[in-house]
Amino acid sequence: MEGQSSDITANSANRKSSAVTGSARKIKDNAADWHNLMMRWEKLNDEGFSEATNIVNIRLSRSTGDQMLQVDGSPSSSSSSSAASSSQQTGGAAELQDKCSKLKDIVDRMVAVVTKMERLMTSQRGIQELEEFQFGPEGRKFPLFHTWNTKQFEDSSRVLLDSYRQELRLKQTILQEVAHTATSDLCMVYLSCWLHQPYVPTETRLTLEALLLETGHRPL
């Protein structure tokens, strides 16, 4: 993956040499940006998953601690042990807070990624509108690259953007809830949602590859 992403960022050198200009240039750059943003998202997803796992572990170990405290009997009976456990709990709370803010940082960076994706979408729509203005509602006669018309670029961008938008909403919900959940099953569901990204289906990867193939980033 790293190799691939550097492949495309290295394209800034190719930009001068290749003769692509105008709308085609813009579309090609957008495709590279889509690739890079999706790679960045994956990386953030991995980082976020390990933070979320930490949070769940702290959370679950604390809740079993609470239960043990209840089983022990009334907290007043042994003041020293309860004091020790409460200090342990505040220690745990500080750690939990720390992990939560780290996870929040990651989600914030994911928000930034999706914002950039939205910008790509806007730019794609702009290209489409420009083309309608230049060539009328049917669009240009000859495709910009191999076979796709300009509308198809907009469509694939929309598919990608919709996936990531919805996935981001899911991540934001998980961020809000994960540290307040005591049932291990629900924690597990949060984690597996985070890891498996239900709203980013495997087809998104295919859509991206199609985009890269059409714009010539990947050799035919």
Partner 1 sequence: MSKPALPSLHQALKKSFHSLENNQRIWKSVLVECGPLMVSLENLAEQSRALSNVQISNTPLRDFPELEERLRFKLLKSTDTVLFKLNEKMSSLQSVRDSICNQVSAVFQLYEQNSDSVDLLTLTERSAATPSVSDMLEWLQDAERHYRQQFVRRKTLLQTLRADDLSALEAAPKRWKSIECPSAEDQITDTLCKVSFFIDS
Q: Residues 6 or more apart from 139 whose CB is under 8 A from it?
A: 131, 132, 149, 150, 151
Q: Which of 119, 120, 147, 151 is nearest to 135 (CA)?
A: 151
Site membership for partner 1, residue 196 (CB under 8 A):
yes
Binder of partner 1 out of 170, 210, 216, 218 (CB under 8 A): 170
Owner of token pair 């083309």: 131
Stretch that binds partner 1, among 68-76, 141-149, 193-201, 210-218 (CB under 8 A): 193-201
Site membership for partner 1, residue 156 (CB under 8 A):
no
Shortest distance in whole angstroms from residue 92 CB to partner 1: 23
Shortest distance in whole angstroms from residue 182 CB to partner 1: 13
Q: Which is nearer to partner 1, 57 or 184 (CB)?
A: 184
Measured CA to CA, the distance from residue 147 to residue 47 in angstroms comes to 38
Binder of partner 1 out of 188, 205, 206, 209 (CB under 8 A): 188
Measured CA to CA, the distance from residue 88 to residue 68 in angstroms comes to 14
Half-sphere exposure of 108 (CA within 13 A, CB side): 6
Residues 211, 5 contacting (CB under 8 angstroms): no
Site membership for partner 1, residue 57 (CB under 8 A):
no
Binder of partner 1 out of 166, 182, 203, 209 (CB under 8 A): 166
Site membership for partner 1, residue 192 (CB under 8 A):
yes
Site membership for partner 1, residue 205 (CB under 8 A):
no
Residues 28, 216 contacting (CB under 8 angstroms): yes
Q: Which residues bind partner 1 (CB under 8 A)?
A: 166, 169-170, 173, 176-177, 183-186, 188-189, 191-193, 196-199, 201-202
